[in-house]
Chains A and B, each alone.
Chain A
Amino acid sequence: MQTQEYQWDITLGLKTSLFEEQRNKQLAKRRIYTVVWIVLFAAAFLFSLVIGDVTMEKILNLPAAWNYLKETIPILRMNSLGYDVGVWYARGDIWVGHLVDTILIAFLATFLSVIFAFVISFPASRNLIRSTSVFFLCRRILDIARAVPEMVYALLFVFAFSLGPLPGVLAIAVHSTGSLGKLFSEVNENISMEDVEGIKSTGGNWVQTIWFGVVPQVLPNYISYTILRLEWNIRAATVVGLVGAGGIGMELMTAIRQFQFKQISAITIMIILLVFFLDWVSEKLRHQLIGGEKLI
């Protein structure tokens, strides 16, 4: 009995010493990582402070931002509320028109991008196309379309198509063709190939194979991605106007540049309400699609 306990103690001691050793090793390793992270982080931080032009003077000047926001609060008096709101939204009818334009810009852009993305996504799916070069070409086209931000396209298109909603539509359409095309082709790559083989075995050509074998499988996913994209595109459409590409952004740009403080808050509130409304509608639509009837 006693010898047993003794032996047990020895192994325990060995085990604890082994454990300690192992633990110290781990800790040392971790300490190295910690030091490396801290050094890298501090370097990036200092670099950013210097190059980002963050000076004490600018930080101390930040309360000016508060004053700026305070300026945008309109004067609303209880006894003349209707009149005050009327003054605040004096250009309300014009803004509503621009807000509608914004939604239509996003709608047209989404419509165009769905068509393009639909067409390009099939040759950009590895399982549906045999030619590697066509596959890579389509993938690269989508990548490039996606990688350049909407605002950069908008700037270039404003130059080519002159000011107005058209460059906005095209800018958003090109960018979202890239995003949607990539999402669509990823959906295509995850389908069951049995249906495709079935259509092929009856002698269907490539287009028929896609139309009858792939599209019925992927359509529900396409629709839910499209609704999400429409929501995103409306948000984008509110800002392409800042570079002159139509919509409510153009009005906001003018108001901010001309220091029309009350107009800034009025337009911003309209944009926020639009975004809230959008979130709500999009959520409703997607829920209905998931739980309910087949819409298409």
Chain B
Amino acid sequence: MIQTKNINRDLITEMEILVPEAFHIPEKQRRYRFITISGIVILTVISLWKLQINPFTIFFGIGKFFQMVMMFFPPTHGGWISEFIYAMGETLAMAFLGTLFGFLFAVPLGFLAAKNIIPSTIIHIVLRRFFDVIRGINTLIWALMFVNVAGLGPFAGIMAIIITDTATLAKLFAESIENVDTSQIDGAKSTGAGPIQIIRYAFIPQVLPIMLSNVLYFFESNVRAASILGILGAGGIGMQLYDRIRIMNWPQVFFIIIMILITVAVIDTISKEIRKAIVANPEYRP
């Protein structure tokens, strides 16, 4: 019917009454939009005022920053290449040991915090809150405290990564344990398996792939974390980076940044391959 009509003003008015949404944004949505946008604008103004950010400091700083970036080129190691590689090794070692021990501590804690393993609500809540509190403190803050306790060097970084990873992984593990398929547990029970055997034959085969792929993700993110922990004195390449920035040796700073980027990219690729191999094909699993 509409096709036979010519499109004229009357038709448009008619359609506007029939389907108002096609012509105007609904009143309610418009109000939400107004509130959201004005809220964002007000918050921005408040932040700029409270943080005392003004155009002059930005302008001056950008000039200084580009001067600095100009001095980045060409990146050189300035004869320090062996020290840099050793520091990068420290970073990788920190990430490896931190993830490994975090995983080893997280597995039993994860089982303890899973509702279907330990049915006690008190243990469940206490453990979960405990994990949340530890996770709430950033790895960098833990690293600062461990530098105070254990002194400068990679050991403080390893401890910081272990602490945060244990809590985070335990939480993830507990969740994946709670989500297992119960039919396999019943199957194991029906053959007369004891509690340990049920965990070994009903839980482990289901949760192990999830655990391993999580651990590999954590290793990747820990390599990133470990590369900056050194800024606070916890060993690794970050320490070298911090020293170079302090003495304003920009070509070496740039060299170290490039080194970090390459290492992270390589580790990501390797870990992706391992994850594909291990998680997808059970036959490659040790």
Q: Pick the residue among B33, B47, B61 that contacts A161 (CB under 8 A).
A: B61
The smallest beta-carbon distance between A267 and chain B, in angstroms, is: 9
How many angstroms from the CA of A51 to the CA of B97 in the assembled complex? 11
Q: With a CB–CB cut-off of 8 A, which chain B residues contact A69?
A: 145
- The interface residues of chain B lying within 8 Å CB-to-CB of A252 are 141, 144
Produce 1/0 per residue, B243-260, CB < 8 A to A. 001001000010001001
Q: Which residues of A contact B97 (CB under 8 A)?
A: 45, 48-49, 52, 54
A26 to B253, CA, bound (A): 51
Contacts of A151 in B (CB 8 A): 140, 228, 231, 238
Q: Is B51 among interface residues, defined by CB-CB distance under 8 A?
A: yes
Give Cα distance in the complex from A235 to B284, angstroms. 38
Cα distance, A235 to B145, chains bound together (Å): 18
Q: Within the complex, what minimum Cβ distance (angstroms) separates B141 from chain A?
A: 7
- Tell me if B89 and A166 are in contact (CB < 8 A): no
Contact with A along B25-58 (1 / 0, CB 8 A): 0001100110010001001101110111100011
A58-B150, A152-B257, A253-B144 given as contacts; is B93 within 8 A of A166 (CB)?
no
* A:256-296 near B, CB below 8 Å: 256, 259, 264, 268, 271-272, 275-276, 293-296
Give A209 Cβ to nearest chain B Cβ, in Å.
19
* Cβ–Cβ < 8 Å partners of A295 in chain B: 32-33, 36
Task: Evaluate contact between B283 and A29: CB separation under 8 angstroms.
Answer: yes
Q: Which of A33, A53, A268, A275 contacts B153 (CB 8 A)?
A: A53
Which residues of B (81-104) have their CB < 8 Å from a CB of A?
86, 89-90, 92-94, 96-97, 100
Q: Is B106 an interface residue (CB 8 A)?
A: no
Segment of A117-125, A129-137, A237-245 engaged in the interface with chain B: A237-245
Q: Which residue of A lies closest to B139 (CB)?
A: A239
Residue A147 contacts which of B43, B132, B155, B261 (CB distance < 8 angstroms)? B261
A37-B286, A65-B150, A239-B140 given as contacts; is B29 within 8 A of A294 (CB)? yes
Tell me the nearest residue of chain A to B143, going by C-beta: A242
Q: Is B170 an interface residue (CB 8 A)?
A: no
A48 to B65 Cα, complex, angstroms: 37
Which B residues lie within 8 Å of A253 (CB)?
144
Main secondary structure of the interface of B (DSSP, over half): helix
Please pick, from B62, B136, B148, the residue contacting A276 in the complex, using a CB distance under 8 A: B136
B275 at the interface (CB under 8 A from A): no
Residue from the set A34, A37, A101, A160 with the largest chain B CB neighbour count within 10 Å: A160
Whether A166 contacts B53 by the Cβ 8 Å rule is yes
Q: Give the docked Cα–Cα distance between A277 and B100 (Å).
A: 31
Does A88 lie at the interface of the complex (its beta carbon under 8 Å from any beta carbon of B)? no
If A101-B50, A271-B137 touch, whether A256 touches B148 (CB-CB below 8 Å) is yes
Contact check, B65 vs A156: say whether CB atoms are below 8 A apart: yes
Question: Are B228's CB and A149's CB within 8 A?
Answer: yes
Shortest C-beta distance, A270 to chain B (Å), equals 11
> What is the 8 Å Cβ interface bit string for chain B, positions 236-278, against chain A (1 contact, 0 not)?
0010011001001000010001001100110000000000000
Contact status B32-A259, CB under 8 Å: no
CB contact between A45 and one of B58, B100, B144, B149 (< 8 Å): that residue:
B100
Are the C-beta atoms of A271 and B136 separated by less than 8 Å?
Answer: yes
**A51 contacts B93, CB within 8 Å?**
yes
**Interface flag for B227 (CB, 8 Å):** yes
Q: How far is the CA of A111 from the CA of B154 in the complex (A)?
A: 36
A246-B51 in contact given A51-B89, A104-B46, A156-B65 (Cβ < 8 Å): yes
Q: How far is the CB of A165 from chain B (nearest CB, A)?
A: 4
CA distance A254 to B55 in the complex (A): 29
A128 within 8 A of B: no
The CA-CA distance from A152 to B149 in the complex, in Å, is: 25
What's the Cα separation between A242 and B229 when bound, in Å? 11
Residues of B within 8 A of A47 (CB): 89, 93
A3 to chain B, nearest CB (A): 38
Which B residues, 120 to 163, have Cβ-Cβ distances below 8 Å to chain A? 132-133, 136-138, 140-141, 144-146, 148-150, 153-155, 158-159
Is the CB–CB distance between B65 and A108 below 8 Å? no
> Which single member of B46, B53, B62, B146 contacts A65 (CB below 8 Å)?
B146
> Can you name the residue of chain A whose Cβ is closest to the Cβ of B43?
A107
A157 within 8 Å of B by Cβ? yes
User: Could you pull out 22 A-B pairs where Cβ atoms are within 8 angstroms?
Assistant: A29-B283, A48-B92, A51-B154, A52-B155, A52-B235, A61-B150, A64-B150, A65-B159, A101-B50, A101-B51, A107-B44, A107-B47, A108-B51, A148-B257, A149-B224, A152-B228, A156-B65, A256-B141, A268-B137, A272-B136, A275-B136, A276-B132
Since A148-B260, A157-B61, A242-B232 are in contact, a sample of 11 more A-B pairs with Cβ atoms closer than 8 Å, ordered by chain A residue number, is A33-B284, A38-B286, A53-B153, A108-B47, A149-B260, A159-B245, A160-B61, A238-B138, A242-B140, A276-B132, A294-B29
